[in-house]
Chain A
Amino acid sequence: MTTTLALTGSPLWYASRASGTLALVLLTATVTLGIAAGGRAAPRCIGRFEIGLLHRNLSLLTLAFLTMHVVTAVLDPFVHLGWAVAVVPFGASYRPLWLGLGTAALDQLLAVLVTSALRQRLGVRRWKAVHWMAYAAWPLALFHGVGTGTDTRLPLQLWLHAGCLGAVVAAVWWRLAKAGPGHITGRLPAATAAMAVPVVLGAFLATGPLQPGWAQRAAATTFVLGGGR
């Protein structure tokens, strides 16, 4: 019984971890490009339309790996997730809170995908209003990865998370530095969030996943399979 579980479970579990990590890296690249290119500063050696296309293509690639991440996680027999978990947050039997953050991020990205496809019909106001949800989806995805990730304690994974965090924070500061005066109501929260997310993530890592017994604390039920160690 255990051998069949290991044989059928392992490749899916590895694929889910790898595609989840890749999706986070690609989402980070998309968000970084979106933040950096959204302002007034024009790049010198690359066309603005090329950055726009890169932003779109990276986001589609993100969703491709995200689909793979969700499908492999649901099919994986270890964690017994139903298909509802893919779209309904916080209903999972395995680490409900930390998995739910990922589900919420996926829902937001799907909303961004649909509204972007229909943006010519929706108009710029409604499209942008939904598009800003991507800013919320990125930290949700980051905390989902740190909280439920099997590999959170690996030094390489920690460096990867630090790199993702650094890229987005640097993009926010760069855009704020390049921006002209005014719009304080929009920029103050952005600067505050750019400072708060690394602090909260660091505090969470130090008290949560990097402490012994995280797997037991993260799981509401007794599933301690693959995660945490």
Chain B
Amino acid sequence: MTSTRSLRVNRITCTGQGLCAELLPELIDLDEWGYPLLKDRAVPDQLRTHARQAVAACPRLALHTDRGRP
């Protein structure tokens, strides 16, 4: 069985640039100030590439994927 991944936002470094919600709208919403709200922390296998791109796109490096279930 492949290891599952879970999303994590570093709330200290996040400045609400909103790139993650553009790239991963399936799992990330934005609140009214533009900060991310995780709909689901667990990353499904079919979204793993998109999650990796969202992590790489964050200009503040505030989005992370951790191994294991949330």
> Which residues of A pack against B, CB within 8 Å?
38, 42, 47-49, 52-53, 119-120, 123-124, 127
**Would you call the interface of chain A mostly helix, strand, loop, or mixed?**
helix
* A49 partner, pick from B22, B60, B61, B62, beta carbons under 8 A: B22
Residues from 1 to 24 in B contacting A, C-beta threshold 8 Å: 13, 17-19, 22-23
Q: Say whether B57 faces chain A, with CB atoms less than 8 Å apart.
A: yes
Number of A-B contacts (CB under 8 A): 27
* Cross-chain contact A42 with B61 (CB below 8 angstroms): no
B59-70 vs A, Cβ < 8 Å mask (1 yes, 0 no): 111100000000
Instruction: Report chain B residues within 8 Å CB of A48.
Output: 17-19, 22
Cross-chain contact A42 with B18 (CB below 8 angstroms): yes
Query: Which one, A52, A120, A123, contacts B59 given CB within 8 A?
Result: A52
Q: Is B19 in contact with A123, judged by CB distance below 8 angstroms?
A: no
Using Cβ atoms and an 8 Å threshold, which residues of chain B touch A124? 13, 60-62
Interface size class of B (residues with CB under 8 A): 10 to 19
Q: Say yes or no: B13 contacts A49, CB within 8 Å.
A: no
With a cutoff of 8 Å between Cβ atoms, the chain A residues found around residue B57 in the complex are 49, 52-53
Chain A residues near B56: list those with CB within 8 A: 120
Q: Which residues of A contact B59 (CB under 8 A)?
A: 38, 52
Can you name 20 extra interface pairs (CB under 8 A) apart from A42-B34, A124-B62? A47-B22, A48-B18, A48-B19, A48-B22, A49-B19, A49-B22, A49-B23, A49-B57, A52-B19, A52-B57, A52-B59, A53-B57, A120-B55, A120-B56, A120-B61, A123-B61, A124-B13, A124-B60, A124-B61, A127-B61
Min CB distance A74 to B, Å, is: 34
How near does chain A come to B55, taking the closest CB pair, in angstroms? 8
Separation in Å of the B49 CB from the closest CB of chain A?
14
- Give the CA-CA distance A119 to B60 in the complex, in Å: 10
Question: Given the complex, which residues of B lie within 8 Å of A123, measured CB to CB?
Answer: 61
